Amino acid sequence: MIIKYVWRTFLAQLMIALFCTIAYASQIGVIMTGDIQYYREIHKTFLENFKHNHEIVLQTPMPNAMSWTNSARKLVTLGSDMIISYGTPATLTTMKATSDIPIVFAGVYDPAAMQIAGKNATGISSTVSVKNILKKLKKLSKGSKLGVILGKSEKDTILQTRQIQKDAKSVGFESVLFAVKGSIDTKLIKGVDAILLTSCSAAMLKLNDIVSIARRDKIPLAAIIGGGENHGVLLTVSADTKEQGEKLADAVNKIIEGTKVSAIPIADPKHIETTINLNEAQTIGLNIPEDIRDSATNVIE
């Protein structure tokens, strides 16, 4: 009887220990808006360079304030030890949801201008030169009207648009703005000679519709966020996903190993990818100037 009692007591304690281990396992929450390919590629590289065994809890909210807020609050409620956020809207929302849990971000355009800084936030910027892509796009365009697609509820795209409007005049473009929220009415996007896609999450989820517009009007489509290179975007200038993922993993690893978030400075991207899709150029009957082709880091043939 005594042996049975001791055995049962041992099993009970073992079960309690196992339960506590599962219940309090280290957890990293991840917010990836809309499961967008650019963010997926960064996340893939992050996982390849992540050195620890934390549970990864992934949230893929739709690109709207309520969905971002719900995802951030859920990860906070679940007791995440750290939250990784991809893109500016997800990062800003997460910072509102918690001032204590470490936040590490990637794919964020101009963190300083977005006021993304603090004792609990660090990461890597995805800022690219707007003027650089405008110069290339002007050489590809036969006219002067530039359609700019931005998100009504995405502050980073509004910042990008202001910079585009400022620099467009110097290269000979007149900006025509198309602000989207949710679905895109393709009938409204017309009368332009080229289209520039900001890092608008809502637009990236409707990329096929935007590509259809460019093909319909036989005009070049450019983007300052990756993910559309193989899906109809003619010119893409974006921060390298491999570098983004590696820098993200490096910061997360350091924090887990004891480095304070405030001791890890926000990194600037050193590798900017320029991709030209020659297949798309052929589809719309456009010849790519030799200097643009030679300056590309990637050429899709």
Domain annotation for the chain: domains and CATH numbers: 2-125+240-269 (3.40.50.2300), 130-239+273-300 (3.40.50.2300)
State how far Cα 98 lies from the chain centre. 20
Average pLDDT of span 221-231: 96
Q: Which residue has the higher pLDDT, 152 or 92?
A: 92
Average pLDDT of span 254-271: 96
Pairing of strands 103-108, 121-125: parallel
Q: Is the pLDDT of residue 13 over 70?
A: no
Question: Given this model, what pLDDT does residue 237 score?
Answer: 98
SS3 category, 249:
helix
What is the token pair recorded at 209?
A: 């519709």
What is the token pair recorded at 275?
A: 């991709």
Question: Given this model, what pLDDT does residue 21 score?
Answer: 38
> Tokens 């887990």 appear where?
256
Which of 265, 295, 270, 300 minimizes the C-alpha distance to 128?
270
- Lowest mean pLDDT, pick from 7-16, 86-95, 126-135, 272-281: 7-16
The rounded radius of gyration (Å) of the Cα atoms in the chain is 23
Which of 125, 75, 122 minimizes the C-alpha distance to 97?
75
What is the token pair recorded at 214?
A: 């460019």
Q: Is the pLDDT of residue 59 over 60?
A: yes
The per-residue pLDDT of the chain, averaged, comes to 91
Rounded Cα–Cα distance for residues 117 and 98 (Å): 13
SS3 category, 151:
strand
Give the CA distances from residue 107 to residues 136, 152, 229, in Å, rounded to whole numbers and listed in that order: 22, 19, 17
Asked if 80 and 27 count as a contact pair (C-beta separation under 8 A), the reply is yes
The predicted-structure confidence for 102-115, as pLDDT tens digits, reads as follows 999 999 999 999 99
Q: Is the pLDDT of residue 7 over 80?
A: no
- Lowest mean pLDDT, pick from 20-24, 57-61, 240-244: 20-24
What is the token pair recorded at 286?
A: 């456009």
Question: Given this model, what pLDDT does residue 9 score?
Answer: 52
Question: Given this model, what pLDDT does residue 119 score?
Answer: 80
What is the token pair recorded at 238?
A: 């974006």
Pairing of strands 235-239, 272-277: antiparallel
The predicted-structure confidence for 115-172, as pLDDT tens digits, reads as follows 997 789 999 999 999 999 999 999 999 899 999 999 988 999 999 999 999 999 999 9
Average pLDDT of span 210-229: 96
Q: Which residue has the higher pLDDT, 21 or 221?
A: 221
Burial label for 226, CB within 10 Å (0-12, 13-18, 19+), is buried
Question: Given this model, what pLDDT does residue 118 score?
Answer: 76
Q: What type of residue is 163?
A: Q
